[in-house]
């Protein structure tokens, strides 16, 4: 998508010379092998239960920084894991100790688990079936118990043979094209893989995906309960309704599209976003969905739901957004919902190829960089709020920068002595020039390979990649918009993502943000995969960094609150030591970030259960 006169990153040149026979190749002499399409069919049972582990010495592999090593490290970060742990496994502590004051609870982490089937097809990481991991921690005993299960969605049960354990992908998925099986005329597109995020609320554990209903999972055993409907209408009601977009041509187009989307492609009427929010002040779970047809129309209808601690619906609101935008993550304050509108447009040639099965369905969409500004919709949680009452909230605030927002860390509002309102948002944004629906994680759907160079721009191009920004929006006492500022957190400009904060202050002013980032020490993978956790002090304008060991990578972190201060608690994250085929649960002390003793404990997942990189997690306190 981006033209440049700069020389390509070295690994890009290497990647371009690789053959296209296999997507996640197996090196039979390497200890990295977990499960690949090129491996012979294994005779292990469908479920694997391990109850003991053998103590082994952890030896860092020799320092290697070359193109071949970087390429294969990247591939094996997304290598399939077909085994599951049905019974709790006590993890071995290899460094430090679980503190006695560690709160008792469970860290749930979801993400894709399988990328290659037994018949030659591969899928994009976003289309990999959800693999849920649970780490139950108990400070009083110092033990951590581990479970891992696939979420048994309808698609997962169809694509995995329960007798042999063999996989045959029959669903294309939004981001993939099947090499084997039915291509042309294959309408199995919306493959609900429940692989993006997880939340425990109201006694229910839910695994969410971007395109359909969540799946409920039993918290103790990780058994799949089934679909969980979040107050959505059934297909018949949507086919009959007149539309809620204000009438006109786009409501007519929506009614025309629904029979095709629901009847042919089996899409759900409401597309629930995978990112939820928890308001700790009101003790509410906030969810948002949009109509299925809105992906194809220059108008979106977002529905916000607020549930109390018993999962009772307290509030529901619809907002019509008069623009063709896509939302992945969002934010909230005491008074508002905040949507960053990533502008998109319909790609007609791509749509035709996608419908025919010759390219992924996501080929129907492309980014729309036609404007140099970014629309931000600040929508009232309480329609009767007098501060918000004088402004047309369907008109976006145009931020003076072109931002494609991936994830938000937090948002909060402040009122000065004159009654003026400021809304401040911390988020991760990238450039429209870099973002590409077809290449997320560097996946090449034609070859089935992952290209590390896409995520690792060369010198002078780093700012195109995801990085932290601060957006400030000012309103007058009458609620009328005044001005908007966008600032890079210039004391930490390195590419970063997966921002998190202490969840007990969500929606309130925060001083710290924790992000996954890179130390830059790997010449051929300088930006991604991430190898460090950064504690960004927004107020003090400082950064403290903890980095994994040689050739170790990390994903998203979660914060476990413990005391009254914002950084009282612990950070949990996973270290992916792909060079030795190991995964470790890490416990970090946020107050000691940047110091030699920041690592509190490291616990080893059995080698046979090492898993691919996860997406989003959740900390659930035992009650």
pLDDT at position 235 is: 37
Q: Which residues of 75-113 are buried (b: 16+ CB within 10 A; e: fewer)?
A: bbbbbbbbbbbbebbebbbeeeebbeebbebbbbbbbbb
From the list 63, 72, 142, the residue with the least C-alpha distance to 102 is 142
Q: Measured between alpha carbons, how far is residue 88 from residues 11, 96, 134, 159 in Å?
A: 41, 22, 9, 26
Name the token pair of 246. 């204000």
The residue-averaged pLDDT of 354-381 equals 91
From the list 325, 271, 267, the residue with the least C-alpha distance to 296 is 325
pLDDT at 523 over 60: yes
Is 439 exposed, middle or buried, given 0-12, 13-18 or 19+ CB atoms closer than 10 A? Answer: middle
Element at 69 (helix H, strand E): helix 67-76
Q: Between 560 and 245, where is the model more confident?
A: 560
The backbone torsions φ and ψ at residue 501, rounded to the nearest 5 degrees and listed phi first, read -135, 175
Strand, helix or coil for residue 520: coil
Tens of pLDDT along 124-133?
A: 999 999 999 9
Is the peptide bond between 564 and the residue preceding it cis, with omega within 30 degrees of 0?
A: no
pLDDT at 371 over 50: yes
The residue-averaged pLDDT of 189-194 equals 89
pLDDT at position 239 is: 37
Average pLDDT, the chain: 85
pLDDT at position 243 is: 46
Q: Measured between alpha carbons, how far is residue 263 from residues 127, 188, 258, 259, 269 in Å?
A: 22, 11, 8, 5, 11
124 is in an annotated binding site: no
Q: Between 230 and 155, where is the model more confident?
A: 155
Q: How far is the C-alpha of 309 from the C-alpha of 200, rounded, in Å?
A: 10
Q: How far is the C-alpha of 35 from the C-alpha of 303, rounded, in Å?
A: 41
328 is in an annotated binding site: yes
In the chain, where are the structural domains located? 10-621
For residue 346, list its beta bridge partners.
365
Longest distance between any two alpha carbons in the chain, whole Å: 72
Tens of pLDDT along 393-431?
A: 889 999 999 999 999 999 999 998 888 999 999 999 999
Cα–chain-centroid distance for residue 313? 25
The residue-averaged pLDDT of 25-32 equals 32
Backbone CA torsion sign across 287, 291, 297, 301? negative
The residue-averaged pLDDT of 188-205 equals 93
pLDDT at position 11 is: 59
Confidence of residue 116 (pLDDT cuts 50, 70, 90): very high
pLDDT at 491 over 70: yes
The residue-averaged pLDDT of 246-251 equals 64
From the list 426, 344, 333, 325, the residue with the least C-alpha distance to 378 is 333
Is 296 exposed, middle or buried, given 0-12, 13-18 or 19+ CB atoms closer than 10 A? Answer: middle
The residue-averaged pLDDT of 208-220 equals 94
pLDDT at 58 over 80: no
pLDDT at 158 over 60: yes
For residue 137, list its beta bridge partners.
105, 144
End-to-end CA distance of the chain: 50
Cα atoms in the Cβ-side hemisphere of radius 13 Å centred on 554 = 32
Winning range, highest mean pLDDT, from 16-25, 44-53, 87-96, 445-454: 87-96
Strand, helix or coil for residue 355: helix
From the list 275, 289, 295, the residue with the least C-alpha distance to 318 is 289
pLDDT at 21 over 70: no
Q: How far is the C-alpha of 615 from the C-alpha of 127, rounded, in Å?
A: 12
pLDDT at 494 over 50: yes
From the list 419, 350, 17, the residue with the least C-alpha distance to 175 is 350
pLDDT at position 18 is: 53
Span of 110-124, 177-191, 322-336, 340-354 with lowest mean pLDDT: 177-191
pLDDT at position 7 is: 52
Name the token pair of 214. 């969540």
């169809």: which residue's tokens? 158
pLDDT at position 240 is: 43
């Amino acid at each position: 998508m981006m033209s440049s006169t700069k020389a390509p990153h070295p690994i890009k040149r290497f990647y371009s010379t690789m053959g296209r026979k296999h997507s996640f190749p197996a090196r039979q002499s390497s200890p990295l092998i977990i499960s690949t399409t090129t491996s012979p069919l294994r005779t292990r049972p469908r479920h694997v239960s391990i109850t003991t582990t053998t103590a082994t010495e952890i030896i860092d592999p020799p320092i290697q920084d070359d193109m071949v090593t970087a390429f294969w490290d990247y591939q094996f970060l997304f290598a399939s894991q077909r085994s599951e742990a049905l019974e709790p496994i006590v993890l071995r502590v290899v460094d430090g100790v679980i503190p006695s004051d560690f709160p008792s609870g469970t860290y749930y982490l979801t993400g894709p688990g399988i990328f290659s089937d037994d018949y030659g097809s591969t899928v994009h990481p976003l289309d990999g079936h959800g693999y849920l991991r649970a780490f139950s921690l108990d400070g009083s005993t110092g033990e951590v118990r581990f479970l891992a299960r696939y979420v048994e969605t309808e698609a997962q049960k169809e694509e995995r043979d329960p007798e042999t354990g063999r996989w045959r992908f029959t669903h294309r998925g939004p981001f993939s094209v099947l090499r084997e099986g039915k291509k042309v005329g294959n309408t199995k597109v919306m493959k609900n893989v429940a692989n993006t995020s997880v939340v425990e609320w109201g006694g229910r554990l839910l695994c969410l995906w971007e395109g359909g209903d969540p799946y409920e999972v039993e918290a103790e055993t990780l058994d799949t309960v089934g679909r969980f409907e979040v107050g959505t209408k059934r297909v018949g009601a949507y086919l009959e309704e007149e539309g809620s977009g204000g009438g006109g041509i786009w409501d007519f187009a929506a009614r025309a599209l629904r029979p095709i989307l629901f009847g042919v492609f089996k899409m759900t009427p409401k597309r629930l976003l995978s990112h939820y929010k928890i308001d700790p002040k009101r003790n509410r779970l906030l969810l948002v969905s949009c109509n299925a047809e809105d992906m194809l129309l220059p108008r979106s209808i977002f529905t916000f739901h607020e549930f109390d601690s018993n999962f009772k619906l307290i509030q529901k609101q619809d907002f019509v957004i008069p623009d063709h935008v896509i939302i992945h993550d969002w934010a909230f304050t005491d008074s508002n919902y905040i949507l960053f509108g990533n502008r998109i447009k319909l790609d007609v040639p791509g749509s035709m190829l996608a419908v025919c099965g010759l390219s992924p369905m996501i080929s129907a969409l492309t980014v729309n960089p036609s404007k140099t500004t970014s629309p931000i919709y600040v929508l009232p949680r309480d329609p009767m709020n007098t501060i918000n009452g004088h402004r047309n909230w369907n008109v976006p605030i145009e931020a003076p920068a072109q931002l494609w927002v991936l994830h938000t860390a937090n948002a909060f509002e402040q009122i000065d002595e004159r009654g003026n309102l400021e809304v401040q948002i911390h988020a991760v944004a990238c450039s429209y020039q870099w973002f590409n629906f077809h290449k997320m994680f560097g996946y090449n759907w034609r070859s089935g390979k992952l290209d590390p160079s896409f995520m690792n721009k060369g010198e002078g191009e780093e700012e195109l990649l995801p990085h932290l920004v601060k957006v400030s929006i000012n309103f007058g006492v009458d609620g009328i918009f005044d001005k908007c500022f966008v600032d890079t957190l210039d004391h930490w400009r390195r590419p970063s993502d997966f921002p998190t904060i202490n969840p007990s202050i969500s929606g309130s002013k925060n001083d710290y943000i924790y992000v996954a980032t890179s130390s830059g020490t790997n010449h051929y993978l300088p930006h991604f995969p991430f190898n460090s956790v950064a504690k960004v002090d927004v107020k003090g304008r400082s950064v403290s960094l903890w980095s994994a060991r040689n050739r170790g990578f990390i994903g998203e972190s979660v914060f476990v609150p413990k005391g009254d201060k914002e950084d009282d608690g612990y950070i949990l994250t996973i270290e992916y030591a792909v060079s030795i085929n190991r995964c470790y649960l890490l416990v970090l002390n946020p107050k000691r970030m940047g110091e030699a003793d920041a690592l509190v404990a490291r616990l080893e997942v059995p080698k046979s259960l090492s898993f691919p990189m996860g997406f989003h997690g959740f900390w659930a306190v035992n009650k």
